[in-house]
Amino acid sequence: MRFSGFKVVKEALTGHRGWKPLWRDPEPQGHYDIVIVGGGGHGLATAYHLAATFGQARIAVLEKGWLGGGNIGRNTTIIRSNYMLPDNEPFYEFSMKLWESMEQDLNFNAMVSQRGILNLCHTDAQRDAFRRRGNAMLLAGADAELLDQDGVRAMAPFLNFDNARFPIKGGLLQRRAGTARHDGVAWGYARAADQRGVDIIQNCEVTGFRIENGAVKGVETSRGFIGAGKVGVAVAGSSGRVMQMAGMRLPIESHVLQAFVSEGLKPVIPGVITFGAGHFYVSQSDKGGLVFGGDIDGYNSYAQRGNLPVVEDVAEGGMALMPMLGRARLLRMWGGVMDMSMDGSPIIDRTDIDGLFFNGGWCYGGFKATPASGYCFAHLLATGRPHETAAAYRLDRFARGHVIDEKGVGAQPNLH
Amino acid sequence: MLIPHPLLGPRDAQEFTYLGDAALMQRPDPQAGEAAFADYVFQRDNPAGVHRELWYHEYGDRSWLVVTRDTTTHEILGAKLARNVKMGLPE
Amino acid sequence: MNARLSGGLIDRSKPLSFTFNGRTLQGFEGDTLASALMANGIRLVARSFKYHRPRGIFSAGSEEPNALVTLGTGARAEPNTRATMIRLPEGLVARSQNHAGPLGFDLWSVNDLAAPFFAAGFYYKTFMWPRAFWEKLYEPAIRNAAGLGRLSMQPDPDSYDKGFLHCDLLVIGGGAAGLAAALTAGRSGAEVVLADEDFRLGGRLLAESDPLDAATAADWVAKAEAELRALPNVRVMPRTTVFGVYDHGVYGAVEEVSDLPGAPLRQTLWRITAKRAVMATGATERHIPFRDNDRPGILLAGAMRAYANRWAVTPGAGKVAIFTNNDDGHRTALDLQAKGVNLLGVIDSRAGATPFGDYPIFAGGRVTGTSGRKGLRAIRLSWNGREEELSCSALGVSGGWNPNVQLASHHRGRPKWDESRLAFLSHGGPEGLLPAGAAAGEGSTAQALASGQAAARAALEQLGTPAADTPLPQGEDRQIRTEAFWHVPGKGRAWVDFQNDVTVKDIKLAHQENMRSVEHLKRWTTLGMATDQGKTSNVTALAVMAELTGRSIPETGTTIFRPPYTPVSLAVLGGGDTGKDFRPTRLTPTHHWAKAQGAVFTEVGQWMRAQYYPQPGETHWRQSADREAMAVRSAVGLCDVTTLGKVDVQGPDAAEFLNRIYCNMMGTVKVGKARYGLMLREDGFAYDDGTCARMGEEHFVVTTTTANAGLVLRNMEFARQCLWPELDVTLISTTDAWAQIAVAGPRSRELLSRVVDDFDLSTEAFPFMGCAELTVCNGCPARLFRISFSGELAYELAVPARYGHALMQRLMEKGADLGVTPYGTEALSILRIEKGHAAGAELNGQTTAQMMGLGRMVSVKKDSIGAVMSRREGLAQDGRRLVGLQAVDPQQAIPAGAHLLATGAAQTMANDQGWVTSACYSPHVGGHIALGYLEQGEARMGETLVAANPLQDQQIPVRIVPAHFVDPEGDRLRD
- pLDDT reading at C632 higher than 70: yes
Q: How far is B87 from chain A (nearest CA, A)?
A: 25
Measured in angstroms, the CA of B13 and the nearest CA of chain C are apart by: 10
CB atoms within 10 A of CB C584: 9
d(CA C399, CA C771): 83
Residue C659 has φ and ψ, to the nearest 5°, of -60, -35
Q: What CA–CA distance (Å, rounded) separates C392 from C58?
A: 16
Of C335, C251, C321, C328, whose CA–CA distance to C283 is shortest? C328
| Of the candidates A292, A280, A330, the residue with the CA atom closest to the CA atom of residue C571 | A330
pLDDT, average across residues A27-46: 98
Please give, rounded to a whole number of angstroms, the shortest distance from the CA of A342 to a CA of chain B: 6
Asked if residue C207 has pLDDT above 90, the reply is yes
CB neighbour burial string for C609-647, b if at least 16 within 10 angstroms, e if fewer: bbbbbbeeeeeeeeebbbbbbbbbbebbbbbbbbbbbbb
Q: Which residue of C682, C714, C725 is in closest CB contact with B17?
A: C714
pLDDT tens digits for A163-185? 999 999 999 999 999 999 999 99
> What is the maximal distance between C-alpha atoms in chain B?
41
Q: Which subunits sit against A, judged by 3+ Cβ pairs under 8 A?
A: B, C
Q: Do C714 and B30 touch (CB under 8 A)?
A: no
Alpha-carbon gap, residue A381 to A375, rounded angstroms? 10
Across A279-301, average pLDDT: 97
**Rounded Cα–Cα distance for residues A135 and A146 (Å):** 10
CB pairs under 8 A between B and C: 65
Pick the CATH number of C288-398 from 3.40.50.1000, 3.40.50.720, 3.50.50.60, 2.40.430.10: 3.50.50.60
Per residue in C903-933, pLDDT (tens digit) is: 999 999 999 999 999 999 999 999 999 999 9
Give the span between the Cα atoms of C201 and C295, in whole angstroms: 31
Nearest-angstrom CA–CA distance, C613 and B12: 43
Q: For domain A115-177+253-339, give the fold.
A: D-Amino Acid Oxidase; Chain A, domain 2 (3.30.9)
Residues in chain C: 975
Q: Give the mutation candidate from A2, A135, A179, A396 for the C interface (greatest C CB count, under 10 A).
A: A135
B53–chain A nearest CA distance, Å: 9
The CATH number that domain C645-733 falls under is 3.30.70.1400
Predicted confidence at residue A1, as pLDDT, reads 86
Does the beta carbon of C941 lie under 8 angstroms from any beta carbon of chain A?
Answer: no
Give me the pLDDT at residue B6, please: 97
Q: Residue C664: which of C858, C871, C867, C863 has the closest Cα?
A: C858
Q: Which residues pair with C925 in a beta bridge?
A: none
- CATH number given to C1-152: 3.10.20.440
- Judging by beta carbons within 10 Å of its beta carbon (0-12, 13-18, 19+), is residue C223 exposed, middle or buried? middle
Peptide bond connecting C564 to the previous residue in cis, omega within 30 degrees of 0? yes
- Nearest C-alpha in B relative to A248: B45
Would you call C725 and B87 a contact, using CB atoms and an 8 Å cutoff?
Answer: yes
Give the pLDDT confidence of C477-526 residue by residue, as tens digits.
999 999 999 999 999 999 999 999 999 999 999 999 999 999 999 999 99
* Mean of pLDDT values over C773-800: 97
> What's residue C832's pLDDT?
97
Residue B21: list chain A partners with CB under 8 A: 253, 300
Cα dist. C707→A71, A123, C448 in Å? 34, 13, 57
The pLDDT of residue C3 is above 80: no
Write the burial class of residue A232 (CB in 10 Å: 0-12 exposed, 13-18 middle, 19+ buried).
buried
Contact residues, chain B, for C710 at CB < 8 Å: 58
Rounded to 10 deg, the angle between the A182-195 and A41-52 helix axes is 30
Rg (CA), chain C: 38
The pLDDT of residue A283 is 98
Q: pLDDT-derived band of residue C558, with 50, 70 and 90 as boundaries?
A: confident
Are C808 and C593 in contact by the 8 Å Cβ rule? The answer is yes
Which residues in chain B have Cβ-Cβ distances shorter than 8 Å to C726?
Answer: 87
Chain A residue numbers with beta carbons less than 8 Å from the beta carbon of B1 are 299, 307
SS3 A152: helix
Q: What is the mean pLDDT of residues C354-378?
A: 97
Interface test with B, best of A248, A301, A312 (most B CBs within 10 A): A301
Instruction: Please tell me the distance from the alpha carbon of residue A15 to that of residue C867, in angstroms, as a whole number.
Output: 72
pLDDT score, position C374:
92
Tell me what pLDDT residue A33 has.
98
Stretch (H or E) spanning A353: none
Q: Which residues of A touch C158 (CB under 8 A)?
A: 326
- The phi and psi torsions of C742 (rounded to 5 degrees) equal -80, 130
Can you tell me the mean pLDDT for A106-120?
97
- C714 lies within 8 A of chain B by CB: yes
Which chain B residue has the Cα nearest residue A251?
B43
| Residues sharing a CB contact under 8 Å with residue A342, sequence separation 6 or more, in sequence order | A251, A252, A398, A403, A411, A413, B41, B42
pLDDT of amino acid C560: 84
The residue among C308, C298, C302, C310 whose CA lies nearest residue C286 is C302
* Chain A residues whose beta carbon lies within 8 Å of the beta carbon of residue B51: 300
- Record: contact C722-B54, CB cut-off 8 A: yes
Helix, strand, coil content of chain A in percent (nearest 5): 30, 25, 40
Residue of A nearest to B51 (CA): A300
Residue B91: the pLDDT is 65
Whether the pLDDT of residue C157 is over 80: the answer is yes
CA C154, C155, C158, C164 dihedral sign is positive
**Which pLDDT score is estimated for C134?**
87
ipTM above 0.90, yes or no: yes
Whole-model pTM: value is 0.97
Give percent above pLDDT 70 in chain C. Answer: 100
Query: Do C883 and C965 touch, CB atoms closer than 8 A?
Result: no
CATH topology of domain C160-283+403-463: FAD/NAD(P)-binding domain (3.50.50)
Query: In this predicted model, what pLDDT tens digit does every residue of C234-271 receive, in sequence order?
Result: 999 999 999 999 999 999 999 999 988 889 999 999 99
Q: How many angstroms away from the CA of A249 is the closest CA of chain B?
A: 6
Q: Are the beta carbons of A35 and A62 closer than 8 angstroms?
A: yes
Average pLDDT over residues C32-45: 97
Alpha helices, H only, C198-250: 217-230
Q: Give the residue from C273, C411, C721, C871 with the most B CB atoms within 10 Å of its CB, the best one to mutate.
A: C721
pLDDT at A372 over 60: yes
- For residue C872, list chain B residues with Cβ-Cβ distance below 8 A: 34, 38
Question: What pLDDT does A11 receive?
Answer: 93
Distance from CA of B78 to the nearest CA of A (A): 16
Mean residue pLDDT of chain C comes to: 96
**Environment class of C190 (CB within 10 Å of its CB; exposed 0-12, middle 13-18, buried 19+):** buried
Residue ranges covered by each domain of chain A: 22-77+182-252+343-415, 115-177+253-339
Please name the fold of domain C487-564. Arc Repressor Mutant, subunit A (1.10.10)
Cβ of C725 under 8 Å from any chain B Cβ?
yes
Model pLDDT, residue C2: 56
Domain assignments of chain C as residue spans, ordered by start: 1-152, 160-283+403-463, 288-398, 487-564, 591-643+737-831, 645-733, 879-974
Cα–Cα dist A316/C658, whole Å: 39
B2-26+46-84: CATH topology: Folate-binding fold (3.30.2270)
Long-range contacts of C334-341 (CB under 8 A, 24+ apart): C334/C359, C335/C208, C335/C209, C335/C305, C335/C308, C335/C309, C336/C304, C336/C305, C336/C308, C338/C209, C339/C5, C339/C6, C339/C7, C339/C308, C339/C309, C339/C312, C339/C314, C340/C5, C340/C6, C341/C5, C341/C308, C341/C314
What whole-number distance in Å separates Cα of residue C956 and Cα of residue C945?
Answer: 8
A154 inside 8 A of chain C by CB: no
Whether the per-residue pLDDT at C641 is higher than 80: the answer is: yes
| pLDDT confidence band for C132 (50 / 70 / 90) | confident
Three-state DSSP class for residue A321: helix
- Pairwise CA distance, residues C579 & A316, whole Å: 9
Q: Round to whole Å and give the CA distance between C390 and C378.
A: 5
The CATH architecture annotation of domain C879-974 reads Beta Barrel (2.40)
Mutation for testing the A interface, residue in B18, B37, B41, B44 having most A CBs under 10 Å:
B44
Instruction: Tell me, letter by letter, the H, E, C secondary structure of chain B.
Output: CEEEECCCEEEEHHHCEEEEEHHHHCCCCHHHCHHHHHHHHHCECCCCCEEEEEEECCCCCCCEEEEEEECCCCCEEEEEEHHHHHHCCCC
CA distance C530 to C499: 6
Let me know: does A377 contact A46? Beta carbons within 8 Å: yes
SS3 for C775-825 is: EECCCEEEEEECCCCCCCCEEEEEEEHHHHHHHHHHHHHHCHHHCEEECCH
Instruction: Report d(CA C880, CA B68) in Å as an integer.
Output: 43
Just give the CATH number of A22-77+182-252+343-415: 3.50.50.60
Nearest neighbour of C143 by CB, restricted to A167, A286, A308: A286
Selected from 3.40.50.10680, 3.30.1360.120, 3.30.450.40, 3.40.50.620, the CATH number assigned to the domain covering C591-643+737-831 reads 3.30.1360.120
Per-residue pLDDT tens over the stretch A121-138: 999 999 999 999 999 999
Residue B90 has pLDDT above 90, yes or no: no
- What is the SS3 assignment for C418? strand
Contacts of A330 (CB under 8 A, 6+ apart): A260, A261, A262, A315, C564, C567, C568, C569, C570, C573
Judged against a pLDDT cut of 70, whether residue A98 lies above it is answered with yes
